[in-house]
Copies of this chain bind each other. A is one copy, B any other.
Amino acid sequence: MNAPDATPVIALMDRLGSAARSASTAMAAASTAAKNAALLALAREIRAGAARLAAENARDLDVATRAGLAAPMVDRLRLTDKVIALMAEGCEQVAALPDPIGEMTNLRRRPSGITVGQMRVPLGVFGMVYESRPNVTIDAASLAIKSGNAAILRGGSEALHSNTALMALVVRALAEAGLPGDAVQLVPTTDRAAVGRLIAMPQYVDVIIPRGGKGLIERIAAEATVPVIKHLDGNCHVYVDAGADLDLAVRVTDNAKTQKYSPCNAAESLLVHRDVAAAFLPRIGAVFAAKGVEMRCGPRAKALLAAVPGAKLVDATEADWAEEYLAPVISIKLVDSLDEAIARINRYGSHHTDAILTTNHPNAMRFLREVDSASVMVNASTRFADGFEFGLGAEIGISTDKFHARGPVGLEGLTSMKWVVFGQGEVRT
């Protein structure tokens, strides 16, 4: 299997890959009952193992603190009682979701006599590469189990003790349910060459899901030889149309920007139709000023905001229109038409989530159709772009690609549709 010069880490990854491929066959054929039993067992194991998890997590925290890791990073690493309880609940929620596997749709009789339709099946094996938060280990394991896939997980080196302890619980839960222990595996080394191999063994791994910073995801997408469900940046726009309900516009724009600054679905750019700018901008500007949100403005927007007390106004540069701040900063620009708004969003946006606030129905429908983003909204906060809010019941990531899964990715994003044909001996003539 391995070339004579294969390094130990490549040989290790090939063993993990081969085991995952074998386990994926059993997982694809596993009953809904067995998969749910494994998920409920995992919830029990997590609750019963809370003290042990906390102890192993303390080892990671100790190393991280002594290594001088920044406080927010250390926080993300921490398995508090609440995080542990949420992990267990998450497994139960995934168990309660409908099993997507095996559903057959669109069965239709063809003139030849055959009946043709599609069946939903697992993708096979997914690889997940993530940083710091150890609870992602349980998210990924539970979604792999429910979707009938096998998974190979590569967590952050700073979380290795925590992840190893969590994985022991996953393996026990799989065994309790009679499912193969190799269905979910953790890469047991922090060697970076392991990632290089994980993303380049199409014989064993069908798709890679990276979770982390833009740099990590770009590197993986550039080097992977299998498909990547990638989530790059979220430069989300709110466009306030001519004739918008201004009370609604202030409420929704405020929520989209300030309800939380760090998520990818927070608004980063505000476009305002010139006809409502004089009425709208001072109102939202006052909200932003009160919350300390810096406004990077085009000249016309800046003029209309100049009189707002305490407003932090900065001249926007070209780079601002494309920036994902993830901070109390927003770019603001006047536009002369819906066409200009759509064109700017398609040019400067990141195809993640964009909203129009309007009372004009044709404008709403044009925006929905023509803005080329994973989630497009009318009169709602961009912050709703989320697997749970959309009703997926779970979320393994958010895709900013158009291919395969787009936007929030739940269980269905880990499946594919194959064609099924039922015949009675038909032949082609």
Contact = CB atoms under 8 A, between A and B. Distances in A.
Interface of A: 25, 28-29, 102, 108, 110, 112, 114, 116, 119, 121, 123-124, 206-207, 222, 225, 227, 245, 248, 251-252, 254-256, 259, 346, 355, 366, 368-370, 372-381, 383-385, 389-391, 401-404, 406-408, 416-429
10 contacts: A108-B391, A206-B402, A227-B227, A227-B401, A245-B425, A248-B425, A251-B427, A259-B427, A404-B404, A407-B419
Q: From DSSP, what is the main secondary structure of chain A's interface residues?
A: mixed
Given A25-B346, A402-B123, A418-B406, A427 B390 contact: no
A424 B378 CA distance: 8
A361 to B, nearest CB: 11
Number of this chain's copies in the complex:
2
Contacts of A124: 372, 402
A369 B28 contact: yes
A429 B207 CA distance: 34
Contacts of A227: 227, 401, 403
B116 A391 contact: yes
Contacts of A222: 225
Given A110-B391, A112-B389, A119-B369, 4 more contacts: A114-B389, A227-B227, A248-B425, A256-B427
Contact of A419 (B25, B248, B369, B406): B406
Contact of A379 (B225, B418, B424): B424
A404 B406 contact: no
Given A380-B423, A402-B124, A403-B206, A369 B417 contact: no
A101 B102 CA distance: 27
A112 B377 CA distance: 14
A373 B419 CA distance: 8
A200 to B, nearest CB: 11
B375 A418 contact: yes
Closest 9 CB pairs of A and B: A380-B423, A255-B427, A248-B425, A377-B421, A383-B428, A375-B419, A379-B423, A402-B416, A404-B404
Nearest to A104: B368
B406 A417 contact: yes
A215 B370 CA distance: 38
A245 B418 CA distance: 26
B390 A110 contact: yes
B112 A418 contact: no
A224 B34 CA distance: 40
A369 B422 contact: no
A121 B389 CA distance: 22
